Amino acid sequence: MQQQAALDYQPPAAEADEGIQHSLFGEILDWMLAPLLLLWPMSIAITYLVAKSIANQPFDHALEDSVTVLAQQVRAVDGKVIKGLPGSARDILRADDIDNVYFQIQGPHGEHIDGDRDLPPPLLDEEELPTSANVHFRNDSMHGTPVRIAYAYVRLEHKPGDETPLALVQVAETLEKRAQLANEIIKGVILPQFIILPIVLALVWFALARGLSPLAQLQERIRARGSDDLSPIAPNQVPEEISPLVNSLNDMLARLSSSIEMQKRFIADAAHQMKTSLAGMRMQSELALRQTDSAEIHRSLEQLAKSSEAATRLVNQLLALARAENQPQAGTSMQLLSLSDLARSTVQDWVSASFAAHIDLGYEGPDEPLEIEGNPTMLREMLSNLIDNALRYIPAGASVTVRVRSDEQHAILEVEDTGPGIAPAERQRVFERFYRILGNKAEGSGLGLAIVREIAQQHGVEVEIYNNPRATQPKLPGALFRLAFPLPPEPPIEESEAPYYG
């Protein structure tokens, strides 16, 4: 069982890299040190190659001098190659405490004249033989040991008309002194780097810590703020590179401060409205308790019922406004719907209320569906508030028309009435919460149009107010509320559905 459990065990999945919090300090340090640590071995390799090249130069010059001196001792006498190299000169040539030195002299036909027979000749064709006495260099091996060879061809005396005979002179030495010099050069270059590299790392660390210190200071200043301090951060106290971030934070703080102020004002206004409604209901209930006449009690109860209905409507509108403000602007809440069908069904819901108010409520729209993208629940709430607002503020005998139409780019929803209208100076303020036009005696909470504007903004449209162009009485100019919704993009035509014009 234990073995089976061990086989069935699956290790936990590793966390996604996106969920790991990265350090800006560590990120910059990695990007600075990684190239440095990668380039350092490359610099050592390049230094070694350069050191070898530098070490070769003086020893190559010495080899060149030896070949030149040796070539001067070679000549031809009576057609034979002879050498004028005394024994002491040969001893001097081979005198080296570190490297082994070899030399060789060959005649024009490859015959051995003097020196080491095992020294390999240069691999050159007869056509490639040099025509001058310049010294050449090559790398080869002698008895399995790498050697550096300098060689030259010496022109010998010859009879006129004969081909110029060439004698080969070679001097070779092992590479021990060159390796020692190259190592000394590398040590002189690399050893200081082992001292400089930690200093460079420490300076980089210090520079990064010093460069990122303004972020730490900004963090401390923000942490030191009170929970209610939403004042902007002074942009002149941060580096230029952080200014865009600070400006964005200041914009967010300004929006947050404005939102909090609106919420405070909303809560204060809502509390005042609820307090007023509840105080009125309490007074009416106390008055009903003191009455002894049944007719007076009935009248007080009717008034209490009206007050409770107004309070219920106020609470419902507050909840609707809260839902509209917290409605996401995109995602699953938006769907494809028919604006004409939604408007027609909403108007039908308000027909009985319009009959009770003696107001003619009508609908005008296309027979075919006019599709938009929106939230059907919120749009129905918005249109209901527009219709309710019209029924409350126009006199009996007037008319309200809900109209749906379209142009080339928009689906248009209009609610027009033949009532007293809204003055141009009041058209922006009527969308404020709890605002009511002075002198208007109609019952209402002042939240209907605020809900309308909030839902409209959630759908990316603005509410425009005009006088009713169809009004016939100068004293009753009427009001026209217009909302233009963008039409959804048409779906692409599939290849099988494309029209054929062949």
pLDDT band at 344 (very low <50, low <70, confident <90, very high): very high
Q: Give the integer Cα–Cα distance in Å for 487 and 409.
A: 6
User: Is-contact 413 349, C-beta < 8 A?
Assistant: no
Structure letter (DSSP) for residue 231: P
Return the ∠ at Cα 358 (arms to 356 and 364), rounded to 5°. Answer: 105
pLDDT band at 497 (very low <50, low <70, confident <90, very high): low
Q: Which residue has the higher pLDDT, 494 or 357?
A: 357
- What is the pLDDT averaged over residues 407-423? 89
pLDDT band at 2 (very low <50, low <70, confident <90, very high): very low
Sequence-ordered strand ranges (E) for 67-222: 74-77, 80-83, 101-106, 112-115, 136-142, 145-155, 166-174
Is pLDDT of 482 > 90?
Answer: yes
Residue-level pLDDT at 416:
92
Q: Read off φ and ψ for residue 425, nearest 5 degrees.
A: -70, -20
Whole-model pTM? Answer: 0.47
* Percentages (nearest 5) of helix, strand, coil residues in the chain: 50, 20, 30
Residue-level pLDDT at 7:
47
Q: Give the integer Cα–Cα distance in Å for 370 and 195.
A: 79
Is pLDDT of 258 > 90?
Answer: no
> What are the b/e assignments for 449-478, b being 16+ CB within 10 Å?
bbbbbbbbebbebebebbebeebeeeebbb
Task: Label the pairing between strands 371-374 and 360-364.
Answer: unpaired
Nearest to 375 by CA among 464, 485, 482: 485
145-154, 268-277, 306-315: which has the minimum mean pLDDT?
268-277
Nearest to 382 by CA among 353, 339, 411, 429: 339
pLDDT band at 342 (very low <50, low <70, confident <90, very high): very high
Q: Give the integer Cα–Cα distance in Å for 236 and 243.
A: 8
Mean pLDDT computed over every residue of the chain: 78
Residue-level pLDDT at 332:
44
Strand order in the sheet with 479-486: 360-364, 399-406, 410-417, 479-486, 463-466
- What is the pLDDT averaged over residues 65-81? 75
Return the ∠ at Cα 460 (arms to 459 and 462), rounded to 5°. Answer: 105
Residue-level pLDDT at 9:
46
pLDDT band at 364 (very low <50, low <70, confident <90, very high): very high
- What is the pLDDT averaged over residues 125-153? 78
Instruction: Tell me the two tokens of residue 354.
Output: 């319009």
Q: Read off φ and ψ for residue 214, nearest 5 degrees.
A: -60, -30
Is pLDDT of 68 > 70?
Answer: yes
Residue-level pLDDT at 162:
59
pLDDT band at 243 (very low <50, low <70, confident <90, very high): confident
Residue 185 neighbours by CB under 8 Å, 6+ apart:
47, 51, 54, 55
Is pLDDT of 31 > 80?
Answer: no
Residue-level pLDDT at 310:
67
Side-chain half-sphere of 489: how many Cα atoms within 13 Å? Answer: 3
Is pLDDT of 441 > 60?
Answer: no
DSSP-based three-state secondary structure for 3: helix
Is pLDDT of 3 > 50?
Answer: no
- What is the pLDDT averaged over residues 85-100? 68
Strand-pairing partners, residue 76, are 81
Share above pLDDT 70 across residues of the chain, in percent, rounded to a whole number: 76
pLDDT band at 348 (very low <50, low <70, confident <90, very high): very high
User: Is-contact 168 106, C-beta < 8 A?
Assistant: yes
90-104, 438-452, 478-492: which has the minimum mean pLDDT?
438-452
On the 0-12 / 13-18 / 19+ scale of CB atoms within 10 A, 75 is middle
Nearest to 147 by CA among 71, 70, 59, 72: 59
What residue type is assigned to position 370 of the chain?
L
CA 16 to chain centre: 18
101-110, 124-133, 293-302: which has the minimum mean pLDDT?
124-133
E strand or H helix that includes residue 205: helix 176-211
Give the CATH number of domain 330-486.
3.30.565.10
Task: Return residue ranges of the chain for CATH 3.30.565.10.
Answer: 330-486
| DSSP per-residue string spanning 124-158 | --GGG--SS---EEEEEEETTEEEEEEEEEEEPP-
Q: What is the pLDDT of residues 319-340, one digit of tens each?
A: 766 666 665 544 447 888 999 9
Sequence-ordered strand ranges (E) for 392-459: 399-406, 410-417
Sequence-ordered strand ranges (E) for 156-238: 166-174
95-109, 281-295, 430-444: which has the minimum mean pLDDT?
430-444
User: Under the phi-then-psi rule, with left for phi > 0, alpha for psi from -120 to 50, and beta for the rest, what region is 293?
Assistant: beta
Give the CATH number of domain 50-182.
3.30.450
Task: Return residue ranges of the chain for CATH 1.10.287.
Answer: 240-313
User: Is-contact 320 381, C-beta < 8 A?
Assistant: yes
For CA atoms 419, 422, 424, 428, give the dihedral sign: negative
For CA atoms 437, 440, 446, 451, give the dihedral sign: negative
pLDDT band at 480 (very low <50, low <70, confident <90, very high): very high
Q: What is the pLDDT of residues 167-208, one digit of tens each?
A: 888 998 888 888 888 888 777 877 777 788 788 888 888 887
CATH 1.10.3470 fits domain 240-313? no
User: Is-contact 375 458, C-beta < 8 A?
Assistant: yes
